[in-house]
Amino acid sequence: MSEDKTDKNQEIIGFACSFCTFKASEMAGSLRMKYPDGVRLVQVPCSSRVDPAFVIKSILEGADGAFVAGCHPGDCHFIKGNYFTRRKIAALKEMFDAFSMKDKLRLFWVSAAEARRFVEKVTGMYNEIKEKKNAGKTN
């Protein structure tokens, strides 16, 4: 019962770049690859569109985790957008760390061709957070 509830309430918001990670997620769907239903995406034109405020908002409003995902460094459709993303998320991670919630935030590089990598990354994140949550409950 409690297991069930944990599972149901678990939510991860992902900000996915239209040119790569969102494409990978489309391909993952077409290939009928499975991943947890709690993973939900917000499509953004570029990972650099993600204002750290969006990530904070997601967590404050109840998400168990949030990730930002874009093209591999050097492959950004907007030339350098993902370098800005990397810097911003690195700073944000420090802040998350200060509040002991480092694992609630991830940054992934997933290209349009990497459907499998997308599924592995989001599933991995989901399961790790779930484990932590359950461990916390029994303590």
Partner 1 sequence: MKTGIFICHCGHNIKHTVDVKKLSTYFKMFPSVTVSEDYPFVCSEPGQDMIKDSIEKHGLDRVIIASCTPSLHQELFKDLLKKSDLNPFLLRRVGIREHCSWVGDDVDKNTEKAIRLIKAGLYSSSHYVPLEEKRVDVTKSALIIGGGVSGLSAAVFLSKMGMQVYLVEKEAELGGHTRNLKNIWPIGEDGTLIIEEMEKELQGRENVEIFTSTTISSFEGSFGNYEAVLLTRAGEKRIVAGGVIVAIGFSPFDPQIKPELAYGIDKRIITTMDFERSIDALSLPENPRIAILHCVGSRDEQIGKPYCSRVCCINALRVADTVKEKYKDSYVESFYMDVRAHPRGGEEFFEDTQEKGVLFTRSNIAEIIPGSKGVLVRGEDTLFNELFEREFDLVVLSIGMSPPEDNRLISSLLKITLDKDKFFLEAHVKLRPYDTAVKGIFIAGACSGPKDIEESINHGRASATKLYGFLNLGYAFVEPFIAFVDMKRCSGCRMCEKACVAKAIKFDETKRLVHVEEAACMGCGLCNATCPSSAIGLRGYLDNVIDDEISALVEAV
- One-letter identity of residue 51: D
Q: Is 129 in the site for partner 1 (CB under 8 A)?
A: no
- One-letter identity of residue 125: M
Q: Say whether 65 sits in a helix, a strand or coil.
A: strand
Residues 21-50 touching partner 1, rule: CB under 8 A, are 23, 25-26, 28-30, 32-37, 40-46, 48-50
Q: Is 79 in the site for partner 1 (CB under 8 A)?
A: yes
Q: Taking the complex as a whole, how short is the minimal distance between the CB of residue 73 and partner 1, in angstroms? A: 10
CB 39, CB 14: distance < 8 Å: yes
Q: Taking the complex as a whole, how short is the minimal distance between the CB of residue 126 and partner 1, in angstroms? A: 12
Q: Taking the complex as a whole, how short is the minimal distance between the CB of residue 1 and partner 1, in angstroms? A: 16
Residue 33 has a CB neighbour count (10 Å cut-off) of 15
